[in-house]
Amino acid sequence: MEYLAFSLIKIIVTIGLLFVSAILLLRYYFTHKKQPLPMLQQNEEQKIILPLRLQACERLVLYLDRIAINNLIARINKPEMNAHQLQAAMVSSVREEFEYNLSQQLYISTKSWGIIKNAKEETIRIINTASMNVAENATSSEMVRMLLDQILKKESSAVDIALEEVKKEIQGYWDGKSSRNA
């Protein structure tokens, strides 16, 4: 009889432990099921944000290409312009392009945006310096010559440095190391 009672107690305790375990597992499942997993939530955010960031980088690469001195000259210089008209048109173009792309700073790091702003300022400085170094009544071709002399003296331009930074930013998106305020 004792053996039967002991076996019955063992069975009841085992069933009780299984029942308690099942309740704990179900409770854990339902509490975590209601909250999305952080990794899944992050992946959903990435699906939305990544294309916007890549588009911003694409637009900023285009902006940097458009403000490169040689491209500005090719796009803006007209034979009938004098040096100061060319200077004004080039500076205006750089500033307008910058204002057009101003909102892209939301999608890139603070460091990259600072380097892009520096490229804009450096480009304007080069244009203004060249303008100051030509005669008052100089032709646009003299201004172009002065600009080309200035950019040939530099090993790397601020625009080239900014392009490299944007490329690093894009690479960071793929590596998963990108940070907004890096």
Say which residue, 21 or 42, is predicted with more confidence.
21
Return the pLDDT at 42: 60
Residues 51/107, Cβ–Cβ less than 8 Å: no
Question: pLDDT per residue over 104-155, tens digit each?
Answer: 999 999 999 999 999 999 999 999 999 999 998 999 999 999 999 998 888 8
Q: Which of 21-25, 63-67, 176-180 has the highest mean pLDDT?
A: 63-67
Distance between CA atoms of residues 25 and 17, nearest Å: 12
Q: What is the pLDDT of residue 182?
A: 44
Chain mean pLDDT for the chain? 87
Tell me the per-residue pLDDT of 21-36, one tens digit each, with 9 for 90 and over: 888 887 877 777 665 5
Residue written as token pair 């916007």:
52
- pLDDT tops 80 at residue 100: yes
pTM of the model: 0.71
CA dihedral sign, ordered 170, 172, 176, 180: negative
Query: What does the DSSP 8-state code read for residue 68?
Result: S
The answer to whether 172 and 57 are in contact (CB under 8 A) is: no
Two tokens, residue 154: 């530099």
> Do 35 and 106 meet the contact criterion of CB atoms below 8 Å apart?
no
Domain boundaries, the chain: 1-32, 47-175
Distance in angstroms (rounded) separating the CA atoms of residues 161 and 5: 84
Distance linking the first and last C-alpha atoms of the chain: 76
Query: Other CB atoms closer than 10 Å to residue 175's CB: what's the count?
Result: 9
Beta bridge partners of 101: none
Lowest average pLDDT, out of 62-76, 85-99, 165-179, goes to 165-179
Q: Report whether 129 contacts 94 (CB < 8 A).
A: no
Q: Counting Cβ atoms within 10 Å, is residue 44 exposed (0-12), middle (13-18) or buried (19+)? A: exposed
pLDDT of residue 154: 84
| Residue 61 near residue 163 (C-beta atoms within 8 A) | yes
